């Protein structure tokens, strides 16, 4: 009996080791100097033949390799290569679901409609096999966002080299997420209703519910509380202006309605997510200093009378209007597709943006929108050494071949389940 128990424990430990994600790297103790690469700083600037040094997880020098300065620690010769800040995915549900076809692995949506107190960081799974596949493409951080309901819950920003959610979090509870009501609806065919798209008769009613909820929360927070209301408590920092509200909304009129409502609520720290037709209200967004997190470029126009390539040009249009624009990942197969984040940015570069502007969508712009730009998002002295070296252009899948990657100075393993299979079957068929 004892032997059976012992063998069972050994078996489960072995299986757990096979299934587990890469072991997180230890804290940086050895300094690094990356010399000779083309450095894309993430703020629109490029340094040819650069020198980047970092120590104890922070960048200590950024400049030309011609500078007469002693190289620190291990010197990496990156001549002919490219250095980038780690890419940041906004509006992603990474780590909240593993297999779309297995309901038990999904934890991004809770029962209920008004759930500002639901925190994604608690459910975030650092052992996700999907997360592991982000790093070989340079995606090293993400905003972990809830889905569903009117108020989905609270997101947090994480880095992708951690033992648990406490280690992973780089900004906890950064924003509340609200799904704006649709002004069109379809009938419930299973109840015999007409399934055709038609105006939503409850649109105004649904907006009123949101408005009343926020006003009730405000009254509660300004009153002498006897019984604690956790959902209302979760909105405290929103009214203080220290926590953002990400409003998931598309359509010119709906975006305008959302801005007007939050102006009435005296909540100014908001972000538009999705933002189809945002270009039609760009002056309103700019005057209110409201950023926009746009969707992936690889999508169809939202209406029949739009140009076929309007989704590809949206980043250029909004950037030219003077808006702060980031790139999010909401949509079909969003968790698996997040590894393609740099290539979506590359598509925007093919349709008007410069390569450095497109890079900013997933580096400094996203960092600013998520409130983490003081310590990450660009290659600057004093910021986290979260960066990578690529063979070529990291926004092009032909050049996005990572040689080294670091998170807060820790050197990462770029091995994943997929790369192991690739090597295995390459060996099988190479002859």
Residue 242's pLDDT is 95
Q: Tell me: the pLDDT tens digits for 176-190?
A: 999 999 887 777 777
Q: How sure is the predictor about 207, in pLDDT bands with cuts at 50, 70 and 90?
A: very high
Query: What is the pLDDT, as a whole number, of residue 100?
Result: 78
Mean pLDDT of 279-285: 96
76-86 burial, b at 16+ Cβ within 10 Å, e below that, comes to: bebeebbbbbb
pLDDT grade for 6, boundaries at 50, 70 and 90: low
User: CA 217 to CA 28: how far, in whole Å?
Assistant: 44
Q: What is the pLDDT of residue 10?
A: 44
87-181+244-376 fold:
TIM Barrel (3.20.20)
Start-end of CATH 2.30.40.10 domains in the chain: 24-85+378-431
Beta strands in 253-306 (DSSP E): 270-274, 292-294
- Decide: 323 and 286 in contact? Cβ < 8 Å: yes
Residue pair 378/367 in contact by the 8 Å Cβ criterion: yes
In the chain, where does the domain assigned CATH 3.20.20.140 lie?
Answer: 87-181+244-376
What is the model's pLDDT at position 416?
A: 86
What phi and psi, each to the nearest 5 degrees, are found at residue 64? -80, 145
Instruction: Tell me what pLDDT residue 202 has.
Output: 86
Average pLDDT of the chain, as a whole number: 90
pLDDT (0 to 100) of residue 24:
86
pLDDT for the residue 15: 41
Q: Residue 13's pLDDT is what? A: 42
**pLDDT per residue over 312-333, tens digit each?**
999 999 999 999 999 999 878 8
CA distance 408 to 429: 39
Q: What is the pLDDT of residue 187?
A: 73
Distances (CA, A) of 116 to 11, 16, 99, 258, 267: 42, 35, 26, 17, 15
What architecture (CATH level 2) is domain 24-85+378-431? Roll (2.30)
């Amino acid at each position: 009996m004892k032997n059976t128990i012992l063998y069972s424990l050994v078996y489960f430990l072995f299986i757990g080791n096979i299934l587990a994600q890469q072991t997180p790297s230890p804290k940086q103790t050895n300094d690094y100097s990356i010399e000779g690469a083309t450095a894309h700083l993430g703020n629109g600037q490029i340094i040819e033949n650069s020198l980047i040094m970092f120590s104890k997880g922070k960048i200590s020098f950024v400049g030309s390799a011609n500078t007469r300065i002693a190289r620190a620690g291990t010197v990496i010769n990156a001549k002919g290569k490219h250095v980038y800040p780690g890419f940041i995915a906004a509006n992603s549900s990474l780590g909240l679901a593993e297999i779309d076809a297995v309901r038990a692995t999904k934890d991004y949506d809770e029962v209920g409609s008004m759930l500002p107190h639901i925190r994604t960081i608690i459910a975030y799974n650092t052992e996700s096999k999907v997360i592991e596949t982000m790093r070989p493409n340079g995606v090293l951080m993400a905003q972990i966002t809830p889905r569903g309901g009117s108020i989905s819950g609270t997101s947090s920003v994480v880095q992708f080299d951690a033992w648990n959610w406490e280690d992973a979090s780089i900004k906890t509870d950064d924003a509340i997420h609200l799904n704006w009501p649709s002004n069109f609806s379809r009938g419930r065919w299973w109840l015999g209703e007409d399934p055709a798209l038609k105006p939503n008769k409850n649109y105004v009613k649904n907006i009123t519910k949101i408005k009343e909820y926020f006003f009730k929360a405000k009254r509660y927070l300004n009153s002498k509380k006897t019984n604690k209301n956790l959902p209302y408590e979760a909105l405290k920092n929103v009214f203080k202006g220290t926590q953002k509200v990400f409003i998931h909304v598309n359509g010119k009129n709906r975006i305008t309605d959302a801005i007007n409502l939050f102006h009435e609520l005296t909540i100014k720290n908001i972000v538009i997510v999705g933002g189809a037709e945002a270009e039609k209200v760009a002056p309103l967004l700019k005057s209110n200093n409201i950023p926009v997190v746009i969707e992936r470029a690889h999508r169809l126009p939202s209406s029949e009378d739009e140009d076929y390539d309007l989704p590809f040009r949206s980043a250029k249009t909004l950037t030219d209007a003077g808006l702060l624009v980031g790139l999010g990942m909401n949509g079909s197969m969003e968790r698996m597709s997040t590894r393609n984040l740099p290539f979506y940015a590359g598509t925007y570069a093919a349709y008007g943006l410069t390569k450095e502007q497109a890079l900013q969508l997933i580096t400094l712009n996203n960092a600013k929108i998520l409130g983490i730009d003081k310590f990450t998002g660009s290659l600057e002295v004093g910021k986290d050494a979260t960066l990578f070296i690529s063979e070529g252009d990291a926004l092009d899948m032909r050049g996005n071949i990572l040689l080294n990657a670091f998170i807060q100075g820790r050197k990462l393993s770029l091995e994943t389940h997929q790369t192991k299979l690739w090597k295995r079957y390459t060996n099988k068929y190479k002859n």
